[in-house]
Structure 1
């Protein structure tokens, strides 16, 4: 019987009613034999319904019921002739519904032959011919229909277990395969799980189009399949699946040496790196791989998750990197999740506040602005610095909430201050690089400024130079729109990124902030220590950009920067981050 055929209680309710009617009808007609058979069917149907309500129904119960119905039809043909033959047709349909096509055609043919033989005493030759023809037609049409249904069922099963784009295993089929291995694994045979993720696939989709990306994924699938075929010569129990847009998982089961574990990542990467042209467009394709393994009982969710985690870690290190999941990585992830939970709690409870790092003008004596820095009242989260938890907030999708909170608090602080409407004072606010893909950002901050009564020309948004790695036209448009509203834009940590010098003229920014690592190299040991600062200052002035030197820690550094005509400074030598009221007091003291 088809295990996929659901139990239909209404079919049995109707059958129960019909057989009850037959039992009563034939009792009155004096045909006690038919009435008795009907009663037997009533009892059987009742038992099946009871088993169903107790969740004890088995395929054997339905098989017995169909056998009993077949016997009933045969008896009806023997007793009633043509009046019994008409019940062959619904029973043939029942065979087609419950059994596979081959079993159904054999059972139907056997039923028809036996039923016709049993009804011979009631039929003449002509009636027999007229009866056989429609029965044969019914059986043949039912068989053809059953074959068609089976064909479509096979296709549906294939679709349910295959990725629509590549034809590889999908996630459901992969999980089914892993479940089979859960009970087979032992110390001799190991499970190796590798998760491959394509680098910058979103950029490829955005730049070349989704149809181009689909062709690329198909090509990657073909190349990985070829690599897997080579692996299967030695380890036949291996599978390849596509589990997400640009993520593939390879599983290998068997007894293999550590050298194979080390080499398989490079083998799979060759299949991706070997792609250099798609639709006559030259392209370079990179990927990263995360690896985990098992030699004992495992949960399929855990191995998939571990391979994903290792893959994401590989992406952070470099392109075409293979990274192995370890207890150290597990601890690192656990620590991240702890911080994520703390961040969510801090956002919910409004546990963040701001301090301000004063920015001094050319003389190094007068405060001309400040940088808003986030801090937290949460006792546990305060053990971590913003340098630790802000990247985690970006990774886990919390950064936009934090950005909006900081901007709102900064605007509100400036609004209730004597510095509001003072065009000589600029408040700098750090924002995430993710805002460069947020097309609503410029409108959002402008509306917030209007609500708080803050002048946009007093606000400068800071982006780290590393944000420019994925800089595209959307990013440029968002920055331009932000500047059109009157805000200014600064490039923080300048000089640490590898793209800035060659692309600076393409970035619509107003200010460069020299990274503290360059400022710290300025000392009294010789002028060579400040050459990088000289280059940045020269470059910035060439593009008419304002320059702020970060990390000024001593008089020598400040004096050097003054002589090089740096525009502004900030650092502990001048002032540490302070509360807003303390900074106002510092500004007040400058004028007294």
Structure 2
């Protein structure tokens, strides 16, 4: 019995440690596998929404690069970007913004599931910030391609409340498609370009990438390089559109207009290259250059310090977000020995689309230095007349489209001009009528007590020296 007891004891001493080692090894292996699974999930997932991240998206696209063909399937690739997301973050905080992005992610997934899109070979990803990407591979009927972006926009628009806060959520979508082998980088680039173009049009827009759009983007990039070159080489100069006083016979001011000596850039008008400068971050440099040149021109002139003459300078709406603008303008005026009371900064009425307290504060601070502010192209529909009391401007410039309607034959054509003049006088604002092209328009405006006029009937844009000659001729 003692031998048997020793035998069992030996077996136990031998097998129990082995069993414990096996169990521990098994549990450790499982734990390692679990951690590896978690790491794989983290490596391919967006930490905020749980959707695939950019790395997984690229992996999915690479897998499709050489399989897409007319016979095996098609690729639809779209990028959805939230409109004014930075404004939402600034207003409500980043935590609120994160919760909104999570809600959009869930909304996109639910909408695609409702359309049976997720039953296909599909990827849904948040690639950066407020941008979401959807890739769909397989047999794609035209009706699906047409409806997917529309339905996604509708579903995002239906988000009305986050964290108990009511808000309106808008977005834009850019799409591209492939039916043959492709480069994944190009597909991502095309969808982004199309989305950005959609955002430039308005809210809740959709754009499909095309060769026409590609040409447009290429042309913009060319303009950007030309602008950079012209700035470095000082290839810009100013011409001046004279502004005539109440009688229409005497010059009381001028508007500075940008022009360029750069032959390639001069094939484009300022209406084309200035928006490109705004889009690509060159507008502040361009604005400062124009202001400096205008101040220098006035400085070395008999009109400097003459309180009966004012010089208007156009500035970008982006300056309404630039807290340094008022001080910068005043510093320039001091350096060039310019009286700020002679300077009027012009903003287009479209600048007031995103008008907020920051914008109001910047305009007010600009005015405290003595500068005046004008609202250009007034009456084109962006500003409610009742809001005029909230905008600290000094002058309204009637858009040329209203002036051109005055033809002397149909008195109703001038009613909009009459309304603007009445409102301006009600708010004690100066009024300049743009686009005066004939004597009938000038007479009509004079009889309705318009303050000032400019247009080709009175003078085309001319050099500073030519304008001085006109002023000297008036005084003789």
Question: TM over 0.5, yes or no?
Answer: yes
Aligned partner of 1:490 in structure 2 is: 374
Q: Does 1:198 align with 2:82?
A: yes
Aligned partner of 1:183 in structure 2 is: 66
**Superposed CA offset, 1:250-286 (max 9, x none):** 1100011111111111221122012111122222212
Q: Does 1:447 align with 2:331?
A: yes
Q: Does 1:269 align with 2:149?
A: no
Pick from 182, 191, 197: which aligns with 1:313?
197
Aligned partner of 1:347 in structure 2 is: 231
CA distance in 1, matches of 2:122, 2:394: 56
Aligned partner of 1:171 in structure 2 is: 54
Determine if contact 1:352/1:377 at 8 Å carries over to the other structure: yes
Q: Does 1:161 align with 2:64?
A: no
Aligned partner of 2:358 in structure 1 is: 474
Determine if contact 1:512/1:545 at 8 Å carries over to the other structure: yes
CA distance in 2, matches of 1:327, 1:528: 45
C-alpha displacement of 1:228: 2.3
CA distance in 1, matches of 2:335, 2:39: 56
Determine if contact 1:232/1:238 at 8 Å carries over to the other structure: no
Aligned partner of residue 458 in structure 2, secondary structure:
coil
TM-score, reference length from structure 2: 0.93
CA distance in 2, matches of 1:454, 1:146: 79
Considering only CA atoms, is the larger Rg found in Structure 1 or Structure 2?
1
Aligned partner of 1:550 in structure 2 is: 434
For these two proteins, the number of residue pairs brought into alignment is 467
Aligned partner of residue 470 in structure 1, secondary structure:
coil
CA distance in 1, matches of 2:291, 2:33: 61
**Superposed CA offset, 1:99-152 (max 9, x none):** xxxxxxxxxxxxxxxxxxxxxxxxxxx9x9999999999998787667656544
- Runs of 4+ in structure 1 off by over 4 angstroms are 128-153, 231-235
CA distance in 2, matches of 1:444, 1:130: 87
Q: Does 1:243 align with 2:127?
A: yes
Going by fraction, where is helix more abundant, 1 or 2?
A: 1
Determine if contact 2:113/2:119 at 8 Å carries over to the other structure: no
Q: 1:486 to 1:181 in 2, by over 3 A?
A: same
Aligned partner of residue 239 in structure 1, secondary structure:
strand
Q: Equivalences for 1:421-570 in 2 at 5 Å? A: 421-570=305-454
Aligned partner of 1:402 in structure 2 is: 286
Aligned partner of 2:214 in structure 1 is: 330
C-alpha displacement of 1:234: 6.9
RCO (CA 8 Å, sep 6+): is it higher in 1 or 2?
A: 2
C-alpha displacement of 1:373: 0.4
User: Which segment is superposed worse, 278-287 or 484-493?
Assistant: 278-287
User: Which segment is superposed worse, 416-425 or 145-154?
Assistant: 145-154
Determine if contact 2:78/2:176 at 8 Å carries over to the other structure: yes
Q: 1:328 to 1:541 in 2, by over 3 A?
A: same
**Superposed CA offset, 1:412-451 (max 9, x none):** 1111111111122111110111111111111111111111
CA distance in 2, matches of 1:394, 1:201: 19
C-alpha displacement of 1:537: 0.4
C-alpha displacement of 1:229: 2.4
Q: 1:255 to 1:131 in 2, by over 3 A?
A: same
C-alpha displacement of 1:402: 0.7
CA distance in 1, matches of 2:102, 2:244: 57
Determine if contact 2:112/2:118 at 8 Å carries over to the other structure: no
Q: 1:546 to 1:137 in 2, by over 3 A?
A: same
Q: 1:152 to 1:444 in 2, by over 3 A?
A: farther
Aligned partner of 2:3 in structure 1 is: none
CA distance in 2, matches of 1:147, 1:445: 68
Determine if contact 2:124/2:132 at 8 Å carries over to the other structure: yes
List gaps (5 residues or longer) in structure 2.
Answer: 1-8
Aligned partner of residue 577 in structure 1, secondary structure:
coil
Determine if contact 2:238/2:293 at 8 Å carries over to the other structure: yes
Cα RMSD, aligned residues only: 2.3
Q: Does 1:217 align with 2:124?
A: no
Q: Equivalences for 1:66-85 in 2 at 5 Å? A: none
C-alpha displacement of 1:541: 0.5
Aligned partner of 1:415 in structure 2 is: 299
Aligned partner of residue 353 in structure 2, secondary structure:
helix
TM-score, reference length from structure 1: 0.75
Determine if contact 1:191/1:251 at 8 Å carries over to the other structure: yes
Q: 1:554 to 1:151 in 2, by over 3 A?
A: same
Aligned partner of 1:299 in structure 2 is: 183
Determine if contact 2:299/2:337 at 8 Å carries over to the other structure: yes
Aligned partner of residue 203 in structure 2, secondary structure:
coil
CA distance in 1, matches of 2:406, 2:466: 29
